[in-house]
Structure 1
Amino acid sequence: MKRTLLLTISASIILAGCGAAEEAQKPTGTSEEATEQVQKQEKAAEEKPETEGTVTAEDSSVDVSQSEEVIQAAPRYEMKSDFSIQNIDNPDEQIVLLTIDDAPDKNALEMAKTLKDLNVKAIFFVNGHFLDTPEEGEVLKQIHQMGFPIGNHTYNHKSLRDLSEEQQRKEIVDLNDRVEELIGERPQFFRAPFGMNTDYSKQVAADEKMLLMNWTYGYDWEKDYQSKEALADIMVNTPLLRNGANLLMHDRQWTSAALGDIVKGLQNKGYKIVDPAQIETPANKETAAQ
């Protein structure tokens, strides 16, 4: 009897101790407060990412927020028949588009950095003969990772009117293939060398779902404007500047030097620099319809 009584007392003590331990692990406060505390802890655990640092050190140059903005941006602008740009819902909005041809030669990356520092965008129209080496390909990747759309300016910058249809197609499609190989997407904009298209090149651009584009004005190939000061002045103060103007520049040392002053001068005159990702193209129009 005594032994049975002792065992019963011992078991009661052990159970009491286990119960005390369990109580110690529970949240303090009223039952409602405890429930709320547990729910908060569970929610925090669910929201905690599985891995820290979605962007690795190798990807640190990629502006993730800008990339998401490019993907999510709905077209707000359209190109008119004279190659100017217009706000679809507000035609009177004072806007201009910046474009840079013959990239990525020696200055395109620096020009992209200048534009990024100023928080504005431009289309970089590239030539395939500037993408033949791994180093050149890396430059293009960096420009794209900074959020700039890549346009097609043909592989070898030859006048399309001097080429056969087969050669024209190769100039355009081979470059699209090369750009896609490097950045994972095909260009949505096409500009022919010297602005000279053929009926066939227009059809190829349409088949490739690219927006055919020329320009409103540009000066940096003229001898009188191959300096920072002269180019910045004419690009901002030309009588050709107007609402929707499509500005042509090139991958040139003097253009790179003048680029910051050109952007600031345009903005001081009340012009907004259009984000090309918001221009309606055959490609994004088709995507929106799906």
Structure 2
Amino acid sequence: MLRKSSVIFMLIVVIGVLSACSSGDDNEDSTGEQAEDQTEDTEAEENTDENDASAQSEETNEDKEQDEAAEEKEPEYYISEETSSIEPIDDAEEKVVLLTIDDAPDENALEMAETLKEKDAKAIFFVNGHFIDDEEGAEKLKKIYEMGFPIGNHTNTHVVLPDVSEEEQTEEIIAVNDRVEEIIGERPAFFRAPHGMNTDHSREVVEQEGMVLMNWTYGFDYFEPYQDADKLKEALISGEAPEIGEEHSLLRSGANILMHDREWTNEALGDVIDGFREQGYEIVDPDLIETID
């Protein structure tokens, strides 16, 4: 017969083995639950990543579709070589005006772009190279472009083209196109000479660069009597500027309105847009103007 002490010892061993097995089962259950939790977390993260990627893909596709839609717009207007007015092609709306802003982007261009955006109106921003030769100016230009506004060339230093050599004229024009392309990825489609003064050579360079050359039909914000927001607003909306001898209205269908990056013009801009619309004029989208391929 086994001694009592031996029996007790064997019972202790058996109990220890059973406890170890039970503990092992618990650990296995715990490990299994943790593995399942980790799998569920991983699947959730993967689903989130897939959803984010899908959303980003949809946004990218929407942006691409919008860009393609803009590129596919058929021209509805062209710029008259003789008058710089906006002429309709076929049966396009005739009662329109074109807004243009020179000497950008100086102190007010970005705010003017925001006003135009709020009013759902478009304009061409004609830039001077000396305003975009640093990072701050380049960033302003990029923002204006990304808001949907076409960029035009207004020469590098706002020089009077007939007063400089042909070599300098070429540099004044090409330098701006190169810099604009460096910033926004495309070259300007429109050109306006400072003071509206071109030469045979500047016209040749503009043509070679594939730009539409234009001047304007009227604008008053560079005359001293109209360097006041209220007076300027009234003059632009009516087309009359009696303080400089313009007694008869210059406002008519196809008017090409000249404005500048100036404080008083910035202040008047919103009311000017409203004033044209109240008279039944649409603000023409420059993307609908025929350009040179």
TM normalised by structure 2 equals 0.75
Q: CA deviation at 1:68?
A: 4.5
| Matched residue type, 2:277 | Q
1:36-62 Cα distance to aligned partner (Å, 9 max, x none): xxxxxxxxxxxx895322599xx9xxx
| CA displacement at 1:116 relative to structure 2 | 0.5
Q: Which amino acid in structure 2 is aligned with residue 218 of structure 1?
A: G
Deviations 1:102-136 (A, max 9, x none): 00000000000000001110000000000011111
| Matching residue of 1:121 | 122
Structure 2 runs not aligned, ≥5 long: 1-50, 240-248
Q: Does 1:52 align with 2:55?
A: yes
Quote the residue 1:181 is aligned against.
Answer: 182
Cα deviation digits, residues 134-193 of structure 1 (max 9, x gap)? 111000000000000000000000000011111000000011000000000000000001
Count of residue pairs brought into register by the alignment: 232
Distance 1:153 1:265 in 2: 27
Alignment of 1:79-158 (within 5 A): 79-80=79-80, 81-90=82-91, 93-158=94-159
Q: Give the residue type in structure 2 aligned to 1:278.
A: L
Q: Report the equivalent of 2:162.
A: 161
- The whole-number CA distance in structure 1 between the counterparts of 2:129 and 2:86 is 27
Q: Confirm or deny: 8 A CA contact 2:98 2:286 kept in the other structure.
A: yes
* Amino acid paired to 1:257: E
User: Counterpart in 1 of 2:277?
Assistant: 267
Q: Does structure 2 retain, via aligned residues, the 8 Å contact 1:160–1:168?
A: yes
- SS of the aligned residue for 1:235 comes to helix
Q: Deviations over 1:82-116 (max 9, x none)?
A: 11001101366201100000000000000000000
How well do the aligned residues superpose, as a CA RMSD in angstroms? 2.1
Is residue 223 of structure 2 the alignment partner of residue 213 of structure 1?
Answer: no
The TM-score, its normalising length taken from structure 1, stands at 0.76
Indicate the residue corresponding to 2:201 in structure 1.
200
* Alignment map for 1:208-247 (pairs within 5 Å): 208-238=209-239, 239-247=249-257
What amino acid is the match of 2:100? T
C-alpha contact (below 8 Å) 1:70/1:147 kept by paired residues: no
Tell me the residue number matched to 1:251.
261
Identity %: 55
5+ unaligned residues in a row in structure 1: which ranges? 1-47, 284-290
- Classify the secondary structure of the residue corresponding to 2:56: coil
User: Could you tell me which amino acid in structure 1 is paired with residue 74 of structure 2?
Assistant: A
SS at match of 1:52: helix
